A and B are shown apart, each in its own frame.
Chain A
Amino acid sequence: MSLWEYANPQKFMQLSRKVLPWVAAASLLCLVGGLAWGFFGTPDDYKQGSTVKIIYLHVPAAMMAINAWVMMLVASLVWLIRRHHVSALAAKAAAPVGLIFTLIALATGALWGQPMWGTWWAWDPRLTSFLILALFYLGYIALWQAIDDPDTAADLTSVLCMVGSVFALLSRYAVNFWNQGLHQGASLSLDKKENVADVFWFPLLVCIAGFVLLFLALVLLRTRTEIRLRRMNALIARERMG
């Protein structure tokens, strides 16, 4: 059995129908559990006080904002190379989810930045690259809406996705490229000394799992909707011709 079998819309619909309720339930469990653990069950940070509780939203949302774009890039490349419609529709389905995660990262970043840095916003490398990433998401969604022919829309949005990937990468590594920004380095590290303390790390891990599963559940749900919409448009077109 090959992975490419799931590029068949019917196979995808069959598999996603079985998987979706479990992914959605696991996502709800992790999100509610992780956020409740982080909010009610962890102490204040000795430097940042209670604002450390924002980490459980800000870090997973920022991670998924970038990873959603990476997923869209992979799906776009599959579309461009192998012309599988499900992959193009999956990329289209992921964009609004990625945009919302980017907005959450920007909003929680501003709310966290104000008491810590004394400003809601700074033209810092990471903040600026995230704002540009949000604009790329908006442009990508607008381009899908602007073109009637779905295959042409998939082609052009795939190219836009490749261009935007530069900013997705930049938003991930901006703090490493430039040192003059306000934003701290990565909160998560394989080096135990660099990583956040265990008391914050474990609930954060649950929240990250919750955001990943939420993304997966929403992309599955929205891809199913896009496949149905495509089938509906094909049937309507056939009706008109007949």
Chain B
Amino acid sequence: MMPELGKYAGAVLGSYAASIALIVVLVGWSLWRAAKVRRALAEVEARAGAKTDG
């Protein structure tokens, strides 16, 4: 159940919303970039016939 935040509800909920949004964007961007680079490296390695790095 939601705690009673009183007149400070805006400040508290705003803090949680802003922080969680920033963390989600950072994690999402890091994962997206990791997947993109992994795919691109696999293509280059396949072209070069090189061993994959793990």
| Partner-B contacts on A (CB < 8 A) | 9-10, 13-14, 17, 35, 39-40, 44, 49-51, 53-54, 57-58, 61, 96-97, 100, 103-104, 107-108, 111-112, 114-115, 214, 218, 221-222, 224-225, 227-229, 231-232, 235-236, 238-239
Q: Is the CB of A49 within 8 A of B26?
A: no
The 9 A-B residue pairs with the shortest CB-CB distance in the complex, in nearest-first order? A50-B5, A108-B15, A232-B41, A57-B19, A225-B34, A54-B15, A100-B26, A111-B15, A51-B8
Given contacts A218-B30, A231-B53, A235-B50, contact A225 B37 (CB under 8 A): yes
Taken together as a complex, chains A and B put the C-alpha atoms of A229 and B18 apart, in Å, by: 31
- When the two chains form the complex, which single residue of B8, B34, B44 contacts A235, counting CB atoms closer than 8 Å? B44
| Partner-A contacts on B (CB < 8 A) | 1, 3-9, 11-12, 14-16, 18-19, 22-23, 25-27, 30-31, 33-34, 37-38, 40-41, 44-45, 47-48, 50, 53-54
Chain B residues whose C-beta falls within 8 Å of the C-beta of A214 in the assembled complex:
23
Q: Is the CB of A50 within 8 A of B22?
A: no
Given contacts A57-B19, A225-B33, contact A50 B3 (CB under 8 A): yes
Interface of B is mostly: helix
- When the two chains form the complex, which single residue of A14, A35, A49 contacts B54, counting CB atoms closer than 8 Å? A14
Q: Can you report 18 residue pairs joining A to B where beta carbons are below 8 Å apart?
A: A9-B53, A49-B8, A50-B3, A51-B11, A57-B16, A100-B22, A111-B14, A112-B11, A115-B8, A214-B23, A222-B34, A225-B30, A225-B33, A225-B34, A229-B37, A232-B37, A235-B44, A235-B48
Chain A residues whose C-beta falls within 8 Å of the C-beta of B40 in the assembled complex:
232
Q: Is the CB of B12 within 8 A of A221?
A: no
Given contacts A115-B11, A221-B31, contact A61 B6 (CB under 8 A): no
Taken together as a complex, chains A and B put the C-alpha atoms of A142 and B37 apart, in Å, by: 20
The smallest beta-carbon distance between B15 and chain A, in angstroms, is 4
Taken together as a complex, chains A and B put the C-alpha atoms of A73 and B49 apart, in Å, by: 38
Taken together as a complex, chains A and B put the C-alpha atoms of A227 and B14 apart, in Å, by: 37
Q: Is the CB of B44 within 8 A of A112?
A: no
- When the two chains form the complex, which single residue of A115, A218, A227, A239 contacts B47, counting CB atoms closer than 8 Å? A239
Chain B residues whose C-beta falls within 8 Å of the C-beta of A235 in the assembled complex:
41, 44-45, 48, 50
